[in-house]
Chains A and B, each alone.
Chain A
Amino acid sequence: MNGEGVFARAYARALYGAAAARHEEANVTQDVLALERQWNGSPELRLFCRRHLQGSPGNRAAVVQKIWGATFTRTLISFLEMMAQRDHLSLLPSVIQQYQKMDDRAQGCSDVRITFAAEPDEGQIGLIRRQVADAFGPIMKVQTQVDPALIAGVRFFVNDKRVDASLAGRLARLRYGLSKPMQPGVAAS
């Protein structure tokens, strides 16, 4: 795992743990979503967080108080202060992403990423939604995209599971299977 990923996961886990310990999961999650909106909407904030913060750790924490002090819960403010003290505010987008993953997992929400070979219609997306709901439960976050490299069909991920019904995938499986030496009675998979 690269350094940023490791730190982001560790921070996200710390925040989620603190929120759970104080029974503030719902409020903190709301705040994290608000923070994400701020990040996406404010180029100044992004620029500020990506710069190396000057001054002592105490001064950096004071800056955090000035920016977000009145906005968020005490738990998130303390967390942001800690990140600022360590000059790790640039990791915020990764931390937010990891936090949301943890929250989704805790809520039993499936992360569904669907890739179509061609622009899908609602019926196709609905069909996959129904199938995922039957197998993994009704709560899900669905992202769709189009990738002509699939040639035809669809490929989707539900958390760690991958269902590949694309022509490109089928051809790749054939290529791989045929490149293996034949074993009597054993399917080369």
Chain B
Amino acid sequence: MNQPADDNHLEREAQGQLTRRSLLRRAAAGLSGVAVVILTGEEAYVWGSAFQEAPQGAPAPVSYDPTKHHYVYLVDIDKCIGCGSCVRACERENQVPSGYFRTWIERYHISRTGNEVIDSPNGGRDGFEALVTGELVTKSFFVPKLCNHCSLTPCVQLCPVGASYRTPDNLILVDEQRCIGCSYCVQACPYGSRFIHPETHTASKCTLCYHRITKGLLTACIQACPRGVRKLGDTVKADDEVSEIIATRHVHVLKPELLTDPNCYYLGLSHEVR
């Protein structure tokens, strides 16, 4: 029964008549074409309108233009005394919950045998006590850490909802309203800079005190540091101190082998630091 019907179809198609099969084929082609128009047209509409509309929420300081800044961060390890002032200041400035850290200090004890003892009691928040490792320590130092605001960061790449993003002024921020708390980014960050906030259940991290630096103030950690360990640079500015140090001194980044291109530079970084 089927055979003759098919033959009949082919015959009619060959004659240029409309059959159900050819109709469906044309409809499919048309549908995809219309879909492209709708989607791209709609895309253009959304993007265009976004430029004209003022951003919702609190207005940005008029004088601040994110496209006119490019921040970098510098840590001078040789100066750090491990007092934890930066950790405490960050906690207070950004209401960081107890036991979580946007910045923290690690202490390294390294012996001649290459044995490493690394500790960071409460993130270095309350300072450090003397530690006996049982070996002759040949090298010991503190390493303050924070989000590296990487240029090629995995945390932004894998965010499924566009909550993690790179700002025009070279920072990585998390939109709390968008974040669904899936914690992909927490696992992806090779530096352990992120955590899920126990109250908001969204990803939280160093914002480089965006509410401060956009007003021309220093970050809480830099302001609290009594030894000038931490410095904020703006590479767009002429005679920027940090840009000068990066250009002229032996600076290093954490885990360069991961090719994340961090924007947090270290002076005096030892190879044991991961």
Q: Does B associate with A?
A: no
B-side interface residues toward A, CB under 8 Å?
none
